[in-house]
Chain A
Amino acid sequence: MNIHEYQTKELFRSYKIPVPDGRMAHSANQALSMAEQLGGDGWVVKAQIHAGGRGKAGGVQLAKTPDEVQQHAENLIGKRLVTKQTGEFGRMVNRVLVEQIHQIETEYYLGLVIDRASQRITLIASAAGGMEIEEVAAATPEKVINELVDPAVGLQDFQCRKVAAGIGLSGKQIVKAARIMKNLYRCFRDKDALMVEINPLVMAKEGQFLALDAKMSFDGNALFRQPEIADQRDFEEEDPKEVEASGHDLNYIALDGSVGCIVNGAGLAMATMDAISLYGGRPANFLDVGGGASPEKITNAFRIVLQDPHVKVVLLNIYAGINRCDWIAEGLVKAMTDLAVSTPVVVRLAGTNLEAGREILKRSGLSYIHADRLSDAAEKSVKAVNGGTV
């Protein structure tokens, strides 16, 4: 789960991680009064969306006067911002962050992730701030420092000092930077984060460090014990179909093809999408109904998949283990009846209680395209999209 930059910076303040003075605004007028309240002689207006690449896309604007702040906010709020991470339709900007501008001496990178190879929290730092860290790591790996944290004792001060010296800091700056690293680690650990990134961490002319840009994401599986993080979820940043699906305990991700997919298990769901593509079609979505799929769950899955106007055929591919084919078949009959589905449906059932499931479908008299295997399921779905006889 992601949160906005202004929310991350608010969290940073509570962990004594220095950030520029700033306020969030919902409107141009509010932005103007925020700039006046903040004072100073220059401001930056930053569009608040959950995607990166805002700067290059015009989502970060500098202003010399409060009137300019107002103008920039006017231009951003209520518009869709298209960055390289948003896709062609962009994201709606509902709020901006107004911050004081500081004179910058040097830029650094500071981040924490859960490193999959070592299975530990890892502190990442670099003197090459302000650039994509993946690109820095690929081109000049010697410029990126990785420091593993032993979960038994946590990040130690000496490790922070070592990293600070490693990115070229000296004297008192080492102590200051080490304190920021330690606080960032505490924040990461306390809040069940998966990733936090300060890019850039700058040293301002006055000699103090500031987290100029901040990104943070959290473990969705830990939200049960992080209510104040869960409250910050911004549903407007998510596809409404995905929000509805998660409310029904379904895992749905919208894609841009025409074959709607309803599958159990994440691995089989991905393999089904891949097979559709190998037969020349394109999946409209990823959807994992999970184990124990009740008839209601199958109906909800159909409803969500069919909300996508690009869907020309639905492929139901279930390999029942913990699921049961008879429950799935009942769900299919209920969904097709309740929703009066007219889109062609390809059905592939396998596993637990297969015969009972087939019997239910036969008795129902519903019209659907039968498939025995993954290969014919994918092939028949693609043919049905193209209007061919199956």
Chain B
Amino acid sequence: MSILVNKDSRVIFQGFTGQHATFHAQDAIRIGTQVVGGVTPGKGGQTHIDRPVFDTVKDAVVQTGANVSVVFVPPPFSADAIMEAIEAGIKVIVVITDGVPVQDMVRVKRYLIGHDAIIIGPNTAGVITPEECKVGIMPAHIYPKGRIGVVSRSGTLNYEAVEQMSELGLGISTSISIGGDPVNGCDFLTLLKKFAEDSDTDAVLMIGEIGGSQEVEAAAWARDHLKKPLIGFIAGATAPPGRTMGHAGAIISGEADTAQAKMQRLVELGVSVVQNAAEIGKTVQGSLK
């Protein structure tokens, strides 16, 4: 199984003909992802990296059966592109774009109500189910196939954790970065629920950071419902209050936002909390015994 994407996912790229989208579409194809085409308004009818280009997402869905989209559209046009994908019936929309205005995402989340779609991102490294489907910008070769589910805010910290696990012989069922923005498409809780039901996932690693209360809400649900080990890490113990630490959402606005307070709450909720990012792999291994 795995969650969100697998070898049967039919993937399109929005902003297909741009430099980054092209590079990552090629990389995705290399690991076996079914990239069925892309959308660049005004270039419909052309062919790009041997795949058809469409003017609209609707055309792409009708003609290729696409159900997953990777959005590389620049910030001023991202919200429109995401809503276009929602309206066309895409089920998983991965928004790589960094710098989407917050109020645009507020409107997108309102538009999403009543539609059966999941948005991952914006400002995300994306989703990978190793050896099956990569919809993101992560280095696919560092993700061995296995039975640990990973959900993180950050991309590079996700890579760090995966490397530590793979050195210990642990692989990944599906890994998702949800992105660092304050209003994002999908939260930790939604993904924990999916991992809970996934028979290919034995344990879940949740890598959060300062700001907001998503990690705590997810852990509170997990205490009563997740029958698998949950391992947690919160980045930003040394972050000063009131400053935005790279990710727009990573800001300590009150006591409950600090890494220390969040880790404390996770411990109380029964999560195996990692204090030192260098020991994520070991802690995951320990929790499996």
Contacts of A269 in B (CB 8 A): 245-246
Interface: A329 (CB within 8 A): no
Interface: A255 (CB within 8 A): yes
Determine the main DSSP class of A at the interface with B: mixed
Which of B8-16, B48-56, B206-214, B223-231 lies at the binding interface?
B206-214
Residue contact A321 to B183, C-beta cutoff 8 Å:
no
B180's nearest neighbour on chain A, judged by CB, is: A266
Contacts of B100 in A (CB 8 A): 221
Interface: B43 (CB within 8 A): no
Interface: B109 (CB within 8 A): yes
B107's nearest neighbour on chain A, judged by CB, is: A151
Q: A222-B102, A264-B156 are in contact. Are A374 and B180 (CB under 8 A)?
A: no
Contacts of B242 in A (CB 8 A): 85
Residue contact B163 to A350, C-beta cutoff 8 Å:
yes
State in angstroms the CA–CA spacing of A352 and B259 once bound together. Answer: 30
CB distance from B191 to the nearest CB of A (A): 16
CB distance from A252 to the nearest CB of B (A): 10
CB distance from A119 to the nearest CB of B (A): 5
Interface: B288 (CB within 8 A): no
How does the 8 Å CB contact mask read for A256-292 relative to B, with 1 for contact and 0 for none? 0000000111111111111111100011001010010
Contacts of B209 in A (CB 8 A): 266-267, 270
State in angstroms the CA–CA spacing of A116 and B106 once bound together. Answer: 10
Residue contact A277 to B139, C-beta cutoff 8 Å:
no
Interface: B154 (CB within 8 A): yes
Contacts of A251 in B (CB 8 A): 246
Interface: A12 (CB within 8 A): no
Residue contact A116 to B182, C-beta cutoff 8 Å:
yes
Residue contact A219 to B163, C-beta cutoff 8 Å:
no
A287's nearest neighbour on chain B, judged by CB, is: B246
Interface: B103 (CB within 8 A): yes
State in angstroms the CA–CA spacing of A225 and B99 once bound together. Answer: 13
Contacts of B156 in A (CB 8 A): 263-265, 267-268, 319, 321
Q: A151-B107, A273-B238, A375-B276 are in contact. Are A351 and B159 (CB under 8 A)?
A: yes
Residue contact A271 to B248, C-beta cutoff 8 Å:
no
Residue contact B139 to A274, C-beta cutoff 8 Å:
no
15 pairs, CB–CB < 8 Å, chain A vs chain B: A116-B182, A116-B211, A151-B107, A219-B102, A220-B248, A222-B102, A265-B156, A267-B157, A267-B180, A271-B277, A273-B239, A276-B238, A278-B275, A288-B246, A350-B159
